[in-house]
Amino acid sequence: MDREISQTIERLTGSRVASANPLSGGDVAAAYRVDLADGSRVFAKTKAGADPSFFATEAAGLRWLGEPSVIPVPQVIGVGDDVPLLALEWIEPGSPTPTTEADFGRALAALHQAGPSSFGRADNATTGSLELPNTQHATWAQALADNRLRPLARIGLERGAYGQDEADDLERVADRLPDLVPEEPPARLHGDLWAGNRMIGAGGRSWLIDPAAHGGHREFDLAMMDLFGGFGPACYAAYDDAFPLADGWRDRIPLHQLAPLAVHAIKFGGGYRPALRRALEATLTTG
């Protein structure tokens, strides 16, 4: 960690950096466990060459997810003014308990129920490394089409992540969304809810980190949870018991996985293009 980053952490925390150890796991930012001279510890991440405001949207998303006080999120200590840096409360990793999955399912249901007044973000801030829009819309069909599927059709084609067929089919799904997805009031979404963005802390309690937060359809978070696994049956059962899902929600999982699969095809290639193709076919043939 260079001196400029250390000085920024010291300014945000009010304490001298005693040591900083790099952490693995991120594909966008460099992350550190930082021990301070006052005996406390913080999590910090930075991104070389990014605009100093790079982490402002993530910080705002964490605060927004924490507003209902139903799932804990790390406290935002501060965002760098001169360097792209985010300093957060350190969460000591723990182990799951027999009730961790069910507890998380109920808490996620409560988070989703504490939704905003519209789909998108009130600040219209873009999210993720692809800077996807979060323009506010009155319906999920409009938001999913204009903020995710249409931009991803264009970006993926421009970057050669997939071909004209996939781009055209993403546009076809966007056109048909009013008939494919049942409208619900907007939910307060994490927006990138794979298992790596759910931390287990002390007492088996679940924490949310690294959000791409926005108002959206709650099936979007559930589809992301299903994409890479890591959430047990008790989680989904407790969620559905607390906040029953619309009929056919499992049949719409491929639809709500289109955006994350397109993002991963653009960023990582590999097997994500075939997976996107399968999700497109499932959506267009069953819708």
Q: How far apart are CA 10 and CA 14, in angstroms?
A: 5
Which residue in 284, 250, 279, 254 sits closest to 179, CA to CA? 284
* CB burial string 25-38: b at 16+ within 10 A, e below: eeeebebbebbbee
38 contacts: CB under 8 Å, gap ≥ 6: 15
**String of DSSP letters for 203-254:** GG-EEE-S---EEE-HHHHHHHHHHH----HHHHHHHHHHSPPPTTTGGGHH
CA distance 268 to 253: 21
CA–CA gap between residue 281 and residue 287 (Å, rounded): 10
Using alpha carbons, list the distances in angstroms from residue 50 to 53, 88, 126, 267, 273: 8, 19, 15, 18, 28
Residue 192 is among the residues annotated as catalytic for this protein: yes
Alpha-carbon span 114 to 110, nearest angstrom: 6
Measured over the CA atoms of residue 12, residue 14, residue 17 and residue 20, the dihedral's sign is: negative
Query: Which is the catalytic residue, given 103, 169, 192, 226?
Result: 192
> Annotated catalytic sites, by residue?
192
